[in-house]
Amino acid sequence: MINPSIQNDFPIFSTKINGKPLIYFDNSATSQRPQVMIDKLVEYYEKFNASIHRGIHSLSEKATEEYEHSRTKVARFINANEDKEIIYTRNATESINLVAYSWGMNYLKKGDVVLISDLEHHSNIVPWQILEKKIGVKIECIPLDKDFGLDLEEYKRLLQLKPKLVAVIHASNVTGTVNPIKEITSLAHAAGARVLVDAAQSTPHMKIDIQDYDCDFLGFSAHKMCGPTGMGVLYGKKKLLEEMPPFLTGGGMIKSVSCEKTTWNNLPDKFEAGTPNIAGAIAFGATIDYLEDIGMDNIEKHERDLVSYALNKLSHIKGLEVFGQDNSHETRGGMISFTMGYAHPHDISQILNEEGIAVRSGHHCAQPLHTKFGKASTTRASFYFYNKKEEVDVMIEALEKVRKIFS
Amino acid sequence: MDLYRQHILEHYKSPKNFGSIKSSSKSSHGENPSCGDSITMDVTFKNGTIDDIKFRGEGCAVSIASASMLTEKVKGMEMTQIANLGLSDLQEILGIEITPARQKCALLPLTVLKKIILTELSSK
């Protein structure tokens, strides 16, 4: 059970939008931030601002300790084996790019198959298209079944092509689908493929268990889970990360440099060139404490209840069509993408905004998926643990208003 | 909710000059991929002015109403005059305040029309 007054933890909820209380349903784009995270950012800048891994002075020691302590928290949060398997990046997109450039460019060759899926966000499509252009890998797509899940029979058939990499989204940012990553991974490994998981939409909402999934790479962003912007994580299996060349190069990621030769630093520093997002990493540690206090199981259950409540209510609005899984799915994620034939998604968002409700309209960076729907865009309401049924009721009323204006 | 005044909704639901011109017209197409607005326009000219104009496509209330009212406004107008139209003129034509987030929607039809006009002018 989530504390009903949990919005008090977030200073933004005292903001009024068009004179109305803010109802924030754009959490799949980015979440809101609790005071504890903001305080930690400020604390670093005010109390122990210094570079890390460098100076033998008290401030630097304190900053380094907090920075690395956050890494330990992240590793524990997703149940990784070791801290050094956690690489700080800017976001999930950069995490995937790191793998594409450092692993893909060096371990893939012309004709190798990279298997992605029809559910992917552009961040897990475009980097592989770059490799298609640069080195001639071949991209294949796992299609969806009738229920917005990956068609696992078709997946097994595609594995006969002996792909070198399976790169799939864990939880969709559009349909609410949560893919069975453990099963996908074990099938891929049996076929000799590595597995990369885009966990940007799952890590904020459910317990992630790397050791259980056994995937090779997994990326996510802090800003979708109450953390700071510009902060992301790549998990990679130690053996793979050790073999991979660096992605970005410069200071901090080297052991020694002479004019002729450079030796790379150990993990994780090898992949963190230049002065990193120190404040962000430290504040992300505080964010993880906050989420663990609430409990990821609690968060998942709350959102499941909320999405089920919202789906039921939405089904009574005439002409409203949901693109995503229905309530029969145990794992369904907390976002609902829909259209109302008589009103364009932009106009729906605009009218909801008049009532203080923030939703998103567009293709949500999943254009191939929208093409499959035959829609250029949808409106998406996406929930987090601080959202409430009363807020869903306000949205339902506003959508009735949309219907009255446009139909 | 100033954006959805009655006249905007009327133009959205029953747009003027919706369709296509078959014979010897000049056409262009434009879209806002992130929101799915897409408009195609056909124009015929006579003595440096617009003789006939039609559009088709899909979009939000703002972009469709903008196309509908713009096409009404520019019939008979000189090409050089149209080439100089901007956001403030569009605001006047539409009779609503266009918020920054909706400028792209409102401007799409004008952008498409200007593309046709500029091609026509430069071919002279």
Is B60 an interface residue toward A (CB < 8 Å)?
Answer: yes
Q: Which residue of A has its CA nearest to B58?
A: A344
Q: Which residue of A has its CA nearest to B11?
A: A406
Q: What is the mean pLDDT of chain A?
A: 96
Nearest to A344 by CA among B88, B41, B58: B58
Q: CATH number, domain at A89?
A: 3.40.640.10
Quick check: helix, strand or coil at residue A149? Answer: coil
Record the pTM: 0.94
> How many structural domains does chain B have?
1
A354 contact residues in B (CB cutoff 8 A): 1
A224 and A81 within one domain: yes
A237 pLDDT above the threshold of 80: yes
Provide the domain limits for residue B32: 2-122
A349 and A204 within one domain: no
A163 and A54 within one domain: yes
Last residue of a domain, one of A292, A311, A337: A292
A161 and A14 within one domain: no
The ipTM (two decimal places) reads 0.86
Q: CATH number, domain at B7?
A: 3.90.1010.10
Provide the domain limits for residue A231: 38-292
Mind listing the pLDDT tens digit for each residue in A183-199? Answer: 999 999 999 999 999 99
Catalytic annotation, residues of A:
365
Position B1 scores a pLDDT of 52
Position A262 scores a pLDDT of 87
Span B90-100, average pLDDT:
91
Is B107 an interface residue toward A (CB < 8 Å)?
Answer: no
> How many structural domains does chain A have?
2
Is B36 an interface residue toward A (CB < 8 Å)?
Answer: yes
Of B1, B34, B62, the CB nearest to A363: B34
Contact B38 A376 (CB under 8 A): yes
Nearest to A236 by CA among A88, A39, A374: A88
Is A368 an interface residue toward B (CB < 8 Å)?
Answer: no
A287 and A340 within one domain: no
Position A255 scores a pLDDT of 87
Of A347, A361, A363, the CB nearest to B61: A347
Nearest to A353 by CA among A23, A15, A11, A9: A23
Mind listing the pLDDT tens digit for each residue in A16-62? Answer: 999 999 999 999 999 999 999 999 999 999 999 999 987 789 999 99
How much of chain B exceeds pLDDT 70, in percent? 99
**A1 within a domain of the structure (yes/no):** no
A307 and A271 within one domain: no
Helix (H) or strand (E) holding B51: strand B49-58
Mind listing the pLDDT tens digit for each residue in A304-313? Answer: 999 999 999 9
A52 and A10 within one domain: no
How many other CB atoms are found less than 10 A from the CB of residue B44?
A: 14
